[in-house]
Homo-oligomer: A and B are copies of this chain.
């Protein structure tokens, strides 16, 4: 066996002299675009003893996760499982397993995540047709029909809940155009899952991915995905290997499915967290959960409007779990957010792309979506604006209460 090598003295600073202390992160309230607050029982589940990835007791946990994911996705798709990466790994999983070089792919681009999907699809060799609309707006079926220009497409990809803008895309109307084009209907459900209805089977969706750190209120690190039998059939007929080994569902399905063949070592403790987060979502009941998000979001918006602020997405396209609010003229974005973080321990998000510097994104996701947090956030936003000399006309807390009681 090779000898233990002497380390070269002084080559790297003595680790002990610079060893950081053990972690002591502050307890923030997470009301940005994600990660969202994590319920205590989810944190506790994550800290339970690690099992081996082929332990029979762990295989039971996997089955339960799949069963619960099917319920939250509104599907009976057998090919439903969490991928071992964050939401963007879910996006890449969907694309690389379904796209072959030269495939024509329609992608709706109305924010950061549609833009990202187009990029991922190009890297997989797709001929991407970007269907564009203004950030903060959603798509009509006509927009896709026109962009396709009568040519068949392999995939029609769209973001269900644009985290960068707060826009809520209606999905059922897109099914018809996908069918006309012979395309698989593919969804980004990162911010929608667990916060608004997701009904893959009822809507005829063929492929979808999500993330754990939004309305499921689980720490970031996993990407639930689901594929219809039709999508699985497309995969089975591929002519080229999937370009990613790590995300190749042809192998991963054998670990999550019947054979339990080793592919990569599953992130055991993250999966414990997802198990508990799904349990909490189903214990609450999905309808009750959606209603909670909707009602509290109405209260938040009423409060923000009472401060004289305006929302950057039309009401009928607005996501309850993510509210993009225009920063008033003369108010500094970063300074305002820093004030809220330092004075209130409250995190909200800044804007991205054309919304950078002029928009705050306020999340009300999962465990963070509570009446307490609505009031806290309105107080903090008011104080932050006040600190920069903005004077608030109305009574935001009363407006929020009225919205809840109304």
Chain B residues in 8 Å Cβ range of A41: 22
Whether the Cβ atoms of B23 and A45 lie closer than 8 Å is yes
Chain B residues in 8 Å Cβ range of A265: 34-35, 86-88, 211, 213, 220
Bound-complex Cα distance A49 to B217 (A): 12
Once A123-B243, A220-B266, A315-B1 are accepted as A-B contacts, the answer to whether A51 and B22 lie under 8 Å apart by CB is no
| CB of A238 within 8 Å of the partner chain | no
Residue of B2, B4, B32 touching A52 (CB-CB under 8 A): B32
| CB of A249 within 8 Å of the partner chain | no
| CB of A30 within 8 Å of the partner chain | yes
Chain B residues in 8 Å Cβ range of A55: 28, 341, 347
Chain B residues in 8 Å Cβ range of A279: 19-20, 22
Closest B residue to A11 by beta carbon equals B201
Closest B residue to A116 by beta carbon equals B245
Whether the Cβ atoms of A50 and B12 lie closer than 8 Å is no
Whether the Cβ atoms of A5 and B202 lie closer than 8 Å is yes
Number of A residues contacting the other chain (C-beta, 8 Å)?
113
Bound-complex Cα distance A50 to B150 (A): 48
Whether the Cβ atoms of B23 and A48 lie closer than 8 Å is yes
Whether the Cβ atoms of A49 and B26 lie closer than 8 Å is yes
Residue of B22, B50, B220, B287 touching A35 (CB-CB under 8 A): B50
| CB of A326 within 8 Å of the partner chain | no
| A325 CB → nearest B CB, Å | 16
| CB of A246 within 8 Å of the partner chain | yes
Bound-complex Cα distance A275 to B316 (A): 44
Closest B residue to A197 by beta carbon equals B5
| CB of A253 within 8 Å of the partner chain | no
Chain A 83-109 per-residue mask, 1 if CB under 8 angstroms from chain B, else 0? 011111101100000000000000000
Residue of B48, B76, B86 touching A12 (CB-CB under 8 A): B76
A residues sitting closer than 8 Å to B (CB atoms) are: 1-2, 4-5, 7-8, 11-12, 15-16, 18-20, 22-28, 30, 32, 34-35, 37-38, 41, 43-53, 55-58, 61, 64, 67-68, 70-71, 74, 76, 84-89, 91-92, 116, 119-120, 122-124, 168, 170, 196-197, 199, 201-202, 211, 213, 219-221, 241-246, 262-270, 272-273, 275-276, 279, 282-283, 285-287, 290-291, 294, 315-320, 341, 347, 352
